[in-house]
Amino acid sequence: MDASALVRDTIYRSTILLDQQRWEEWLAHCDDRFEYAIRAFSPEINKDVTYLALDRDGLASLLKLLPKHNTDHSPLSRHTSVYTVDVDEAAKSAKAVSSVIVYQTLLDGINSHVDAGESRLFIVGKYLDTLKIEDDKAKFLSREVRIENRRLDKGSHWPI
């Protein structure tokens, strides 16, 4: 598989792992130096805003403690389309831009009798990824989830 295809494959596989909440397996696709952030531009305050920013250890702690927290368990489905992959062969790395649309299929978030089973648009944005390529494997060095929404209602305990 060429480097560009490898990057696309890694992004798509990681999408499935996130959807299935296989957090440990998702983290296995992330380098030890991995940096994760969810950001948006807010025209309300005319600034970039950061909604979450964690390194790999921080993410691992967050995910480990999920069972301790009360959570809306409505599953998220990420529809990812990789738009561009720019490989830097000398640096053995690549940058990728993907569109991501996240749907939330309601389970226990509101009134489950009425709402459970309904899918709603939750997030509109892009994945801005940097990956390293070594030994025919691609690992995430960073992911910025650049979202358009500033209306986030209940938000989420989960990485996007």
Partner 1 sequence: MAAKNHRQWLAEPNLKRSEWVDSRIYSDQEIFEEELANIFKKTWIPVCHESELPKAYDFRTVSIAREPVIVARGPDNEIRAFLNVCPHRGMIIERRPSGSFLEGSPSGNPKRMTCMFHAWQYDMRGNCVYISREKEGYQERLCKEDVGLRRLRCEVKFGGFVWVNLDDSPKVSLEDWAGPAFECLRKSLEAEPLEVFHYHKAIVNANYKLWHDTNCEFYHDFMHYHNRVTGFNDAYFARKNEAFDHGHVVVGTFEVNYDKYEGFESRAALSFPHLPPNQWYMIDLFPGMNFNLRGSAFRCDIVTPLAPDKVMIEYRGLGLKRDTAEERRTRINHHNSIWGPFGRNLHEDLIGVQGQGTTMAPGAEPRRILQGRHEDQTIHDENGMRHYYKEWGRWMNRTPSEPESPFVEQVSVAAE
Please select the residue that binds partner 1; options are 15, 80, 130, 156, rule is CB under 8 A: 156
Strands 30-42, 47-55: parallel, antiparallel or unpaired by DSSP?
antiparallel
Considering only CA atoms, which of 61, 59, 39 is closest in space to residue 51? 39
The yes or no reply on residue 152 touching partner 1 (CB under 8 A) is yes
Backbone angles phi, psi at 148, to 5 degrees: -90, -30
Nearest-angstrom CA–CA distance, 103 and 153: 14
Nearest-angstrom CA–CA distance, 145 and 102: 11
Restricting to residues 27-86, which ones interact with partner 1 according to CB under 8 A?
Answer: 38, 40, 42-47, 49-53, 57-58, 61-62, 64-65, 68-72
Least Å from the CB of residue 24 to partner 1: 16
Nearest-angstrom CA–CA distance, 135 and 75: 34
Least Å from the CB of residue 108 to partner 1: 9
Least Å from the CB of residue 40 to partner 1: 8
Q: Are 3 and 133 in contact (CB under 8 A)?
A: yes
The yes or no reply on residue 157 touching partner 1 (CB under 8 A) is yes
The yes or no reply on residue 148 touching partner 1 (CB under 8 A) is no
Give the interface with partner 1 as residue ranges (CB under 8 A). 38, 40, 42-47, 49-53, 57-58, 61-62, 64-65, 68-72, 109-111, 150-160
